[in-house]
Amino acid sequence: MAGNTMNEISRARFAPLAALLIALLPLACSPGAPPERPPLEGATIGGPFALTDQNGRAVTDASFAGKYRVMYFGYTFCPDVCPIDMQVLGAGLRQFEAKDPARGAKVVPVFITVDPARDTPAVLKEYVKAFHPRMVGLTGSAAAVDKAASAYKVIYRKGETTPGGGYLVEHSRIAYLMDPAGKPLALLPVDENPDAVARELARWTR
């Protein structure tokens, strides 16, 4: 009798656990959750452009077909924000490349100037190589730069010229990650740190 009683107590004690395991079994065997959707999926960001790179070569949006690209608009005479963002972006991409060379090689960092009057190809060449060996610097006519900035929803405005001839340019602080077809995927957190940039690249690059 005592043995039967103990068996009944054991069954009663473990019945809820057994029921829970049975309930969870279909979930464990079912396919995984659908893949995460990019936050900028479907946004009207990006478009055709025709500019000149740091080596004096003509470059269009089609030049990057098949590659993920990071699009950042700034200028080389920027005293603080742009160089900091470029350092974070370049370091984040190098971290991603170190962990996953194959996927890292698919990402091209692109710096488009909003100050084409001063940012010639030669100036851009010295600037971009300080942040990443594969970074592309783009410039062009004022009209060509304005068209590219408009396509990427970037706002910029030249400030007042000082007696010495210098000036600042106010501009949007945005780094877009675009897919191999030139469609927007996500914003890269260049205002945080390289680790955050590397994580976002790993999340969206296939």
- Inform me whether the pLDDT recorded for 28 exceeds 60: no
- Which is more confident, 56 or 9? 56
Question: In CATH, what is the architecture of 50-204?
Answer: 3-Layer(aba) Sandwich (3.40)
Confidence of residue 164 (pLDDT cuts 50, 70, 90): confident
Q: What's the pTM?
A: 0.82
Query: Tell me: the pLDDT tens digits for 109-125?
Result: 999 999 999 999 999 99
**Which residues, other chains included, contact 124 with Cβ-Cβ below 8 Å and sequence gap of 6+?**
53, 54, 76, 111, 113, 137, 138, 139
Please give the full DSSP string across 81-133, using - where no structure is assigned.
Answer: HHHHHHHHHHHHHHHHHHH-HHHHTTEEEEEEES-TTT--HHHHHHHHTTT-T
Question: Around 114, how many Cα atoms within 13 Å sit in the side-chain half-sphere?
Answer: 24
Average pLDDT over the chain reads 88
What is the DSSP secondary structure assignment for residue 173, as one 8-state letter?
Answer: -
Query: Considering only CA atoms, which of 152, 169, 147 is closest in space to residue 160?
Result: 169
Query: Tell me: the pLDDT tens digits for 36-58?
Result: 899 999 999 999 999 999 999 99
Which residues of the chain form beta strands (DSSP E)?
50-53, 58-60, 68-74, 107-113, 136-139, 156-158, 169-171, 175-178, 184-187
> What does the domain layout of the chain look like in residue ranges?
50-204
